[in-house]
Amino acid sequence: MGERVAFIGLGVMGYPMAGHLAAGGHDVVVYNRTAEKAQKWAKEHKGSTALTPREAAADADFVFACVGNDDDVRAVTIGDDGAFQSMKEGAVFTDNTTASADVARELHAAGNGKGIHFLDAPVSGGQAGAENGILTVMVGGDSEPYARAEPLINCFARMCQLMGPSGSGQITKMVNQICIAGLVQGLSEGLHFAKQAGIDPVSVVEVISKGAAQSWQMENRYQTMAKNEFEFGFAVDWMRKDLNICLDTARRIGAKLPVTALVDQFYAEVQDMGGSRWDTSSLIARLDR
C-alpha cells in the first residue's frame, strides 16, 4: 500500500530520488522552483505537481526535500509557502539536503510545536547513487518517525542509518566530506609527484592500490586524474558549500581542521582556474598547471 508523499526540489539528486519513491508504489506530489521540471517529472512518473511546498505537503504523510542550502531549507519548511504551514499532525518531514546541524535542530524544534516530525537525512553516493537508488542516508532525529520513514527512504538508499538526535545526520555527512578533502589532496599530490618524476601514474596506482594507500577515490578516479579529466561527479562549487558548513561548525564546537581548511582554499583556486563545475578530483589540476 502506497503512502501519500510530497517531494520538494527536483535537482540532479531530487529528480531521480522522487522517481524511486514513485516506482516504490507511493503516491508522489512534486514541487520544484522551475515548474517545467516538475511537469516533466509528473508526466514521466504519473505523479502530480503543486505550485508551492505548502500545497504539495497538505495531504502528505511524508514530505521529502532536497534543496540547496540552509536558507532554502528554511523557505520550504517555515516560510510563508512552506510545508510546515500545511502539514498534518504526525506527518514526517525528511530533509535530504546537506545543510548545517543547527538548521536541523532549529526546524526539529519548530516542528515539535506543531506535532510535525523533522529528520535531517543528508545523502552520499552522488548523482549515480541517486539514479541507481543506492544512496547512503545518514539520519538525525527521533526514532519513532524514523522507523516510519525508513521504508520510504530505502526506495532510494542502499544503506540508511539513524545516527542519533536531531543534527546527527548532518554531522555524519560533514565527517564524510572532511575525510574526502584530505584524502583527495593526498592522492593529487601523489599522482602529481609521479608525473613530475616521469613515471606513469596509472602503473603506480595499479601497484599501490592493493595496500595501505588504497581508497575509493584512488580506485575510481586515478585514470581520469592521470589525464586531467574532471567530469565525473560532485562539483567543486558544491564541495565548497559543504566544506563551509564543516569549517563553520568546527569553529563553534572547537574542532581543529587544518588540512580541510587548506583544501577549501585550494578549491577556491580551482574555481579561479575555471573549475567550478569540475569534480572534486580537480585538486590535481592546480598542482599540475
Q: How far is CA 86 from the centre of its chain?
A: 26
Q: Min. distance of Cβ 236 from a copy of itself in angstroms?
A: 15
Q: Say how far apart CA 72 and CA 68 lie, in whole Å.
A: 6
Of residues 88, 173, 227, 256, which has the active-site annotation? 173
Give 169's contacts (C-beta < 8 A, 6+ positions apart). Answer: 104, 119, 120, 121, 122, 137, 138, 139, 140, 141, 163
CB 62 within 8 A of CB 52: no
The stretch near a copy of itself (CB under 8 A) out of 4-12, 21-29, 34-42, 262-270 is 262-270
Selected from 12, 78, 163, 202, the binder of a copy of itself by CB under 8 A is: 163
The residues in 201-240 that bind a copy of itself, with binding defined as CB under 8 A, are 201, 203-204, 206-208, 210-218, 220, 234
The DSSP call for residue 265 is H
Task: Count Cβ atoms within 10 A of the Cβ of residue 36 and give its class: 0-12 exposed, 13-18 middle, 19 or more buried.
Answer: exposed
The residues in 78-137 that bind a copy of itself, with binding defined as CB under 8 A, are 101, 124-126, 129, 136
Q: Min. distance of Cβ 11 from a copy of itself in angstroms?
A: 19
φ, ψ at 198 (rounded to 5°)? 80, 25
Q: Min. distance of Cβ 86 from a copy of itself in angstroms?
A: 33
Nearest alpha carbon to residue 240 among 217, 286, 271: 271
Selected from 28, 104, 138, 243, the binder of a copy of itself by CB under 8 A is: 138
The stretch near a copy of itself (CB under 8 A) out of 37-45, 87-95, 102-110, 193-201 is 193-201
Selected from 48, 143, 196, 223, the binder of a copy of itself by CB under 8 A is: 196
Look at strands 4-8 and 27-31 and give their pairing: parallel
Which residue, 54 or 192, has its beta carbon nearer to a copy of itself?
192
Q: Looking at the chain, how many residues does it have? A: 289
Selected from 35, 109, 159, 268, the binder of a copy of itself by CB under 8 A is: 159
Q: Which residues pair with 157 in a beta bridge?
A: 135
CB 124 within 8 A of CB 176: yes
Q: Is 173 a catalytic residue?
A: yes
Q: Which residues pair with 29 in a beta bridge?
A: 6, 48
Q: Say how far apart CA 71 and CA 181 lie, in whole Å.
A: 25
Q: Say how far apart CA 244 and CA 247 lie, in whole Å.
A: 5
Selected from 190, 236, 240, 243, the binder of a copy of itself by CB under 8 A is: 190
How many residues bind to a copy of itself according to rule CB under 8 A? 70
174 binds a copy of itself (CB under 8 A): yes
Q: Say how far apart CA 135 and CA 17 lie, in whole Å.
A: 9
Q: Min. distance of Cβ 247 from a copy of itself in angstroms?
A: 10
The stretch near a copy of itself (CB under 8 A) out of 24-32, 68-76, 88-96, 175-183 is 175-183
180 binds a copy of itself (CB under 8 A): yes
Q: Say how far apart CA 162 and CA 160 lie, in whole Å.
A: 7
Active-site positions read 173
Q: Which residues bind a copy of itself (CB under 8 A)?
A: 101, 124-126, 129, 136, 138, 158-159, 161, 163-164, 168, 171-172, 174-183, 185-187, 189-194, 196-197, 199-201, 203-204, 206-208, 210-218, 220, 234, 246, 249-250, 253-260, 262-263, 266, 287
